[in-house]
Amino acid sequence: MPELPDVETFKRYIDSTSLNKKIVDVKVDTTKILENITKKKFKNFLIDKKFVETYRHGKYLFIKNNNSKWLVLHFGMTGFVKYFKDLEKKPDHTRLLIKFENDYYLSFNNQRLFGKIELTDDKDKYIKDKKLGVDALDLDYSTFKKLIDYRKAMIKSTLTNQNIIAGIGNIYSDEILFHTGIDPKTKTAKIRIKKLKTMFENIKKILKISIEAKANPNNFPKNFIIPHRKKEGKCPKCNEKLKTVKVNGRTTYFCPIHQKKK
DNA sequence: CTAGATGTTAAGGT
DNA sequence: CACCTTAACATCTA
């Protein structure tokens, strides 16, 4: 589920496994997700270098090389990274395989090929060019209010719009709206100020708790809706059967008792 | 067999 | 012009 908490978890994973080790080999399995660069050039930029630093903005992960290039990873709907020694443990759909001098590998996996692998000299320019909004964890309340309080779109659509706030996707927006008690189809501008403030606090709280849980729903608090996002799912607060509705062409789960239009 | 699954974006509309 | 919506992308699974 590569939204902000997942990507932050990947970032920390890479920090603890893959920094400051010389890269001795690079394999790219598909050119489909390699943007604006040939396989050969891409390899040349990584081989004999080391990763020295990571940075996350929204759902994008940046990994800095000691030649001052940033490797940019985007996970699409199905991506993850894995560090391992035994090649038999290489996950299916490995699109990028990096071998370090200690004979360990770091793989970037992406079943559905909606992910992206890129290089950039300037991560801030990259973020600007992509028109990404402020990272959800860097947001303060007055910016949040200014960014959204006039918008006509449905609140779920506003929350998941990466050009406004970066990092919140289909899954975590459901969690935020559930705890705030708002119907996902509510027009953003109609939300009362008190609810806006609660929503802002919930964004922070939920993302932080989820990161602490390593974005694994099995570790989530009992009152989270995410583990119940499935057919026949029940509200963790009142046991009411959850409803689904399409917003932005994506399935949205909500509790008809706890989430209202105002 | 068909529908649907965590994301982004081009193209169209208001 | 700023904003909003929808369809399409590739692959696997229920």
In angstroms, how far is C11 C1' from A111 CA?
A: 7
Find and list the nucleotides of strand B having atoms within 7 Å of a protein beta carbon.
Answer: 4-9
Nearest nucleotide to A78 (CA to C1') is B6
Q: How far apart are CA A159 and CA A262, in angstroms?
A: 17
Find and list the nucleotides of strand C having atoms within 7 Å of a protein beta carbon.
Answer: 3-12
Say whether A208 sits in a helix, a strand or coil.
helix
Two tokens, residue A246: 């399409």
Q: How far apart are CA A36 and CA A42, in angstroms?
A: 10
Structure confidence at residue A1 (pLDDT): 67
Structure confidence at residue A31 (pLDDT): 87
Q: How far apart are CA A232 and CA A235, in angstroms?
A: 10
Two tokens, residue A206: 């939920």
Structure confidence at residue A143 (pLDDT): 97
Judge whether A185 and A261 are in contact, CB under 8 Å.
yes
**Is A72's CB less than 7 Å from nucleic acid strand B?**
no
Q: Given the structure tokens 């990259």, which residue do they identify? A: A126
Nearest nucleotide to A4 (CA to C1') is B6
**Is A171's CB less than 7 Å from nucleic acid strand B?**
yes
Question: Going edge to edge, which strands form the sheet with A79-84?
Answer: A23-28, A94-100, A105-110, A79-84
Closest CA to A18 of A59, A37, A46: A46
Instruction: Output the pTM of the full model.
Output: 0.97
Residues of chain A with pLDDT under 50: none
Residue A40, C-beta contacts closer than 8 angstroms, at least 6 positions apart? none
In angstroms, how far is C10 C1' from A72 CA?
A: 21
